[in-house]
């Protein structure tokens, strides 16, 4: 496959940045999107040019680092798939592919395709935990949990914090991410005592970080590589309202 790539290049957060066009040749359709970038970067380095900076880690669709906006969609054209698990066979020979970083106020560009998602970490620090007594671990069956509840909590816990929901949202909202973390903990007995305060703390931090508000377009769910449901946002809103009423 021969492809034309229009890649966003930006030296640092203060640089204006812009698209640079690259031509890559003899790309195997069995390569992942990131492996294709590895080939391009190797060519750039051999020419004495600076490689394109992009985030990656596990390359198994688990860590959420591979954040790229590909032809106008977070993680590319394939639903329920991270960039690292997207293969070049889903593109065609001669195609032009435009690649950008996440575009959100709360995700400032560090360099090229790398953005600072520290705002997610600060939201987690605000409430993404449970307070438990130290000591021996409880017996496995001491807290019986119904399968339906356990499945809902597990589904929410599959969120990898990649930020695709923010990138897809016209308001740059992090509501799907926050709601997944609130649901993951609040659905289980260990997390219920702090569920309302958790929602208050995490949403307050979300606002402080500069994320936008949810207007229920559901673009976040449509582009989430782990298919997190917007039903979690309804749960988050309920926890927030109940917590606010108790204040």
Taking only the tens place, the pLDDT of each residue in 3-42 is: 999 999 999 999 999 999 999 999 999 999 999 999 999 9
- Domains in the chain with CATH codes: 3-110 (3.10.20.30), 118-246 (1.10.1060.10)
> Contact 172/206 with Cβ under 8 angstroms?
no
CA torsion sign for 186, 191, 192, 198 is negative
DSSP 162-209: --HHHHH-TT-B-HHHHHHHHHHHHTSTTTGGGHHHHHHHHHHHHHHT
pLDDT score recorded for residue 134:
67
Give this prediction's pTM: 0.93
pLDDT score recorded for residue 143:
78
Name residues of the chain where pLDDT drops below 70.
134, 140
The Cβ-side half-sphere exposure at 20, using a 13 Å CA radius, reads 16
Closest CA to 92 of 166, 224, 227, 2: 2
| SS3 category, 127 | helix
Q: What is the pLDDT of residues 93-103, one digit of tens each?
A: 999 999 999 99
- In sequence order, what are the residues at sequence separation of 6 or more whose Cβ sits closer than 8 angstroms to the Cβ of residue 80? 224, 225, 226, 227
């Amino acid at each position: 496959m021969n492809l034309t790539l229009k890649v966003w290049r930006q030296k640092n957060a203060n640089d204006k940045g812009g698209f640079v066009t690259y031509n890559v040749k003899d790309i195997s359709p069995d390569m992942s999107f990131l492996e294709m970038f590895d080939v391009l970067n190797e060519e750039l380095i051999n020419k004495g040019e600076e490689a394109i900076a992009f985030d990656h880690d596990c390359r198994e669709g688990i860590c959420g680092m591979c954040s790229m906006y590909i032809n106008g969609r977070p993680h590319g054209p394939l639903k329920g798939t991270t960039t690292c698990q997207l293969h070049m066979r889903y593109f065609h020979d001669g195609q032009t592919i435009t690649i950008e970083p996440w575009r959100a106020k709360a995700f400032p560009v560090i360099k090229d395709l790398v953005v600072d998602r520290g705002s997610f970490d600060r939201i987690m620090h605000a409430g993404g935990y449970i307070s438990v007594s130290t000591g021996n671990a409880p017996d496995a069956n001491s807290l019986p949990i119904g399968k339906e509840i356990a499945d809902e909590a597990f589904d929410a816990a599959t969120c990898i914090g990649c930020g695709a929901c923010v990138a897809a949202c016209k308001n740059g909202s992090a509501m799907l991410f926050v709601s997944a973390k609130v649901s993951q903990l609040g659905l289980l007995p260990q997390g219920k005592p702090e569920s309302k305060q958790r929602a208050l703390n995490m949403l307050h931090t979300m606002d402080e970080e500069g994320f936008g508000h949810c207007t229920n377009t559901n673009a976040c769910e449509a582009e989430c590589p782990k298919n997190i449901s917007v039903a979690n946002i309804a749960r988050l809103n309920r926890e927030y309202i109940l917590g606010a009423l108790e204040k």
